[in-house]
Amino acid sequence: MTLLIKNGLVIDPANNRSEILDILLIGKKIIKVAKGIGDDVGEIIDARDRIILPGLVDMHVHLREPGREDKETIQTGTLAALKGGITSVLAMPNTFPPPDSVESVSLVKSIIKKTAQANVYICGAITKGRLGRELADIAVLKKEGVLAISDDGSSIDSDALMFSVFKNAKNEDILVICHSEDKVLSNSGVVNLGLTSTRMGLRGISSESEYKRVKRDIELAEKIGARVHIAHVSCKESVAIIREAKKRGAKVTSETAPHYFALTEEDVLGYDTNKKMNPPLRGRDDVAAIKQGLSDGTIDAIASDHAPHTENEKDIEFERSEFGVIGLETELSAAITELVGNRILDWAGIVRRMSLNPAKILGIDRGTLSEGAVADIVIVDPKKEWRVIKEEFVSKSRNCAFLGKKLKGVVEYTICAGKVVYASASTDKEHYRA
C-alpha cells in the first residue's frame, strides 16, 4: 500500500526536524520525507494544520492477559493504545501466570501473535511467580525475547537478592525496571502521607517509601554497572536522587506518568477511587519537581502505567479499592495540555519523552520518522479540545483519573507499519483497519 501524508508539521527530534513536510509510505516503511512530494500516488491524508509524530512508545502498560481478561486483554488494550496514538507498548508482568519461564513467555507471545493490534513487547518477571523470593532464569527470558525484567507492583526487599538481580542483568545485558517501594514505610497507606491522609482519615504512604528504595536500587545497579530504570517517579526527592546519579554517570533512566504531573494530592480529597494509585498523587512541590525533571531530562520518559480494574474493584470504599488508573487513551492529550500548554516541553520534547527515549531505553527500532524506518506514525490535531467521558473508552475498564476533564489535542490517525489502524470520528475515514 502507498500512503502520502501531505503538509503536516513533522516533529522528529532524532533527525533534528520540526518543519512542514510530506511523508511517503510504501508497504511498511517510510520511503521519503520531503517538501512537495508529487501526489499521483495511492491514498492521501491531508495533514494541513496537523502535527505528525513518530508512533508513541509506552513502556509501562498492564494488559492483564493472561489471567485477568475481565479487566483488559491484549486485544482491547492495544486497541485503546492505538486510539491514544501509541503504536508500541511494553506489557508489564503483573499477569497470571507472570512471564517468568519459557512456557509462560511463549503463552503471551502466542496471544500477541493472534490478537495484538499494536506492537507489544514483553517485560519478564524478576522472580518466579513475581513473589520476590526466587529469581527467574534471566538468560532464558532474554532468549525468549523479553526486553526488560521487573516485579512491578512490588520491590525486592532483600538487598542481597537485588544485588544478584543486577549481577545477572548485567551479564545478560538486560534492563531492570524497578517499582521502588519499601512496603514497611508505605505502612499499608492508600493516599499521600501528610495533610491529605490526615484530612481524609486514611493511612498515608510517605515519599520516603519511594525515594529510599530509588536510592538503594540505583546504588546497587551502579556498583555492578547494570542498567536500571525507575518506574513511575512521583516525588521530588526521587527526582533529585536520579539527577545526582545521572551526573555521576550511573546507567539510570526514569519515567513518570501523566497523573503525577497533571494532578496533585488535593484531587483525591473527594475520595474518588479513580485517583487512587500506587505511588499516590503527591503534593504541589512534588508535581513542580516532576515537571522540572521532565524539562531538564532527569525524567527520560512518560509512560501511562495503564492499570485497568473492573468497576467491582474500583466502585467501592476508598480503602478497599484497587490501586491504579487507565491512561492509554488520555496520556498524549494530558501531556499536550499540561506540558506543551504550560511550555514545560515543546513538541520535540514530547516526542523524546513519549517515543524516542523509551524506544532507546528498550533498544527497539522505533521513535523516529527517518527514511527507511518502520512507518509507525501519529497525526494529531493539536488545537482540538475534548472531554474525557466514560462511554468513549476503548479499554475494557473505565478507571481514569481524568474523567470529566477537558483535554487538548486529538489523535486523528494512527498508522502502524504503514497501515492506517485508527482514524478518529472527525476524519472522513472512520475505520480501525484500512
Active site residues: 305
Signed CA dihedral, 397, 399, 405, 409: sign only? negative
Taking the complex as a whole, the smallest distance from the CB of residue 152 to ligand DOR amounts, in Å, to: 5
Q: Which does 277 bind (CB under 5 to 8 A by kind): ligand DOR, Zn ion, none?
A: ligand DOR
Q: Which is nearer to ligand DOR, 127 or 368 (CB)?
A: 127
Per-residue DSSP letter, 315: S
Angle between helices 236-248 and 208-224 (to 10 degrees): 10
Gap between the terminal Cα atoms of the chain: 10
With respect to ligand DOR, which residue has the nearer C-beta, 168 or 278? 278
Question: What is the rounded CA–CA span in Å between residue 434 and residue 428?
Answer: 12
* Least distance CB 307 / ligand DOR (angstroms): 4
List all residues 6 or more positions away from 162 whose beta carbon is below 8 Å from its beta carbon: 156, 216, 217, 220
Name which of ligand DOR, Zn ion, none residue 94 binds, using a CB cut-off of 5 to 8 Å depending on partner kind. Answer: ligand DOR
Quote the least distance from Cβ 183 to Zn ion, whole Å: 12
Binding to ligand DOR (CB under 6 A): which residues in 56-115? 62, 94
Residue number with CB closer to ligand DOR (111 or 177): 177
Rg, C-alpha atoms of the chain = 21
Dist. CA 376–CA 113, nearest whole Å: 18
Residue number with CB closer to ligand DOR (179 or 396): 179
Q: Which cell is 293 given?
A: 525533571
SS3 109: helix
CA 130 remoteness from chain centre: 20
Interface segment toward Zn ion; rule CB under 5 A; list 150-158, 345-353, 360-368, 406-414 = 150-158
Tell me which H or E stretch contains 25.
strand 17-26
Q: Does residue 277 bind ligand DOR (CB under 6 A)?
A: yes
Q: Interface with Zn ion includes 306 (CB under 5 A)?
A: no
For ligand DOR, the closer of residues 60 and 142 by Cβ is: 60
CB of 153 to ligand DOR, least distance (A): 4
Q: Closer to ligand DOR at the Cβ: 88 or 180? A: 180
Contact between 152 and ligand DOR per CB under 6 A: yes
Name which of residues 315 to 354 contact ligand DOR (CB under 6 A).
323-324
Stretch that binds Zn ion, among 83-91, 109-117, 123-131, 151-159 (CB under 5 A): 151-159
Residues in the chain: 434
* Distance of alpha carbon 299 from alpha carbon 361, whole angstroms: 12
H or E stretch covering 177: strand 175-178
- What, of Zn ion, ligand DOR, none, does residue 323 touch, CB below 5 to 8 Å by kind? ligand DOR
Is the CB of 189 or the CB of 324 nearer to ligand DOR? 324
Q: Is 307 in the site for ligand DOR (CB under 6 A)?
A: yes
Q: How far is the CB of 134 from ligand DOR (least distance, A)?
A: 21
Q: Does 331 bind Zn ion (CB under 5 A)?
A: no
State the minimum distance, in angstroms, from the CB of residue 103 to Zn ion. Answer: 25
d(CA 185, CA 187): 5
CB neighbour list of residue 177: distance below 8 Å, 6 or more residues apart: 59, 60, 123, 148, 149, 150, 152, 229, 231
210 contributes a contact to Zn ion by CB under 5 A = no
Q: How far is the CB of 309 from ligand DOR (least distance, A)?
A: 7
Closer of 6 and 179 to ligand DOR (Cβ): 179
395 binds, options Zn ion, ligand DOR, none, Cβ within 5 to 8 A by partner type: none
Cα 346 off chain centre by: 19
Residues 6+ positions from 94 with CB-CB distance below 8 Å:
62, 64, 130, 152, 153
Distances (CA, A) of 112 to 77, 101, 264, 422: 11, 17, 36, 19
Answer for which of 12, 152, 300, 322 binds Zn ion (CB under 5 A) is 152
Residue nearest to Zn ion (CB): 179
Give whole-number Cα distances, 140 to 65, 66, 106, 338, in Å: 21, 20, 12, 42
- Spatial contact of 355 and 87, defined as CB atoms under 8 Å apart: no
Q: At closest approach, how far in Å is the CB of 154 from ligand DOR?
A: 8
d(CA 74, CA 268): 30
With CB under 5 A as the contact rule, which of the stretches 10-18, 156-164, 179-187, 282-290 interacts with Zn ion? 179-187
Residues 172-211 close enough to bind ligand DOR by CB under 6 A? 179
Q: Which residues bind Zn ion (CB under 5 A)?
A: 152, 179
Q: Which residues bind ligand DOR (CB under 6 A)?
A: 62, 94, 152-153, 179, 277-278, 307, 323-324
